[in-house]
Structure 1
Amino acid sequence: MELARCLPQGRLPELDLVTSPRLAVHWVQRAPAAAAGLAELRQVAAARCAQLFGGTATDWRITGDWRRHGSFVCAALPEAFVRPLEAALASRHARWRWHTSWGWLCRQRSAAIPGDGWTALRSPTTVILWACAAGEVVHFTQLQSTAGEPLATLAERTLALARLESIASGLPTPGALHWIDLCTSDAAPSGLPISSLARGQPGAATPPNEATAVLALSTLRLSPP
């Protein structure tokens, strides 16, 4: 793996590995009735992940905010990506923790993300879209952006998807989105269907690809919800 070959020589420190929005997948999982425990929750989530995103249950490294009742958020990474990198890290006696870009953002800036309504996290190729109600994530989806697509067009497409998902899920239909943008060089035209726009630092370059998009997370200036 190219990333493994880029690791510095010698013993590595403890690492936080933040994956790009394009690589990780997320969904809201409903706990089965009378779940026996964590092992059963993991099996159900693994089956659901394969159903939603393809492959088999063993093709994904899955974690979640495990709960025996109600719904909770799950995330997964492809095992084909995780295994060789972890082997390279283990050979350097490193310790590491995996994070998705969405999970990292929520941990670092949770107070700035609205507890109700729809929020979009945009990277160069992907928009992660989720809905919250009373501080709980209740729905997840995402869409791909096309090369050179204007922000206004992408925002309209994202809002249309949020409205469609709201109707299908019985959620309130949004009038606008809370938008978090990892692409910092776009000019933000007026009239966007965005209620609050959070961007990277002025003058920062747009991340050229998903591999470096997560670097913009450290420079986000989030607007109040």
Structure 2
Amino acid sequence: MKNLAVITGASKGIGLAITEKFLAQGFEVAICARNLESLVQIQNQYGKEKVHIFSADLSQKEQVFNFANFVKHLAIPIKVLVNNAGIFIPGSLLEEDHLQIHLDTNLWSAYYLTKALIPSLQESYIFNICSIASLAAYPRSGSYAISKFALLGFTKSLRQELLGSKIRVSAVLPGATLTDSWEGTTLPSERFISPKDVAEMIWAAYGLSPSACVEEIIIRPQQGDI
């Protein structure tokens, strides 16, 4: 029987690691990102019969719904939805003007995609990739933190509303993870979480019995926050 994992922001970093983990476990994946070339490379590596790709900028509401329709037309049971699409633009809250793009990408994409796909979910698991910045403010991360606080709030509310269903909901809150966001850093790799560690934790939570739900997954670098 076919099972589908839907993963946004899947062309690199955490999204790519999650994509590869579920493919390794026999899932088909429906993935999206803005970079079509990267999506094609993933599809060529794993095969068109397993990897269904869609290029979209999920900061745009219409493109969120376009991706949702693409997923639904695949007519494959959706067992996992990972809302991973995100953006981080550093800056002082009182000096920058990045709140709207952070909200559009980090919050509204997950909100609208989840609502569009909920009718197609049965005995499924939703993972929203939040951030350690969903719990505390960090310097030069004002707009980003606001959007991630909001995403955690959405996740908690969604979990509450779905308690009577067979849909589980988890918030995943990684600390500094070695992705392209840290390109150019001089810090050693051991100061970061590996994207594969995040993917492993998501797979572990998914593998629990249907009667159990890990509501929050907090992962920090062993040596502390950066």
Q: Please give the TM-score of this superposition, normalised by the length of structure 2.
A: 0.31
Greater helix content: 2
> 1 or 2, which has the higher strand percentage?
1
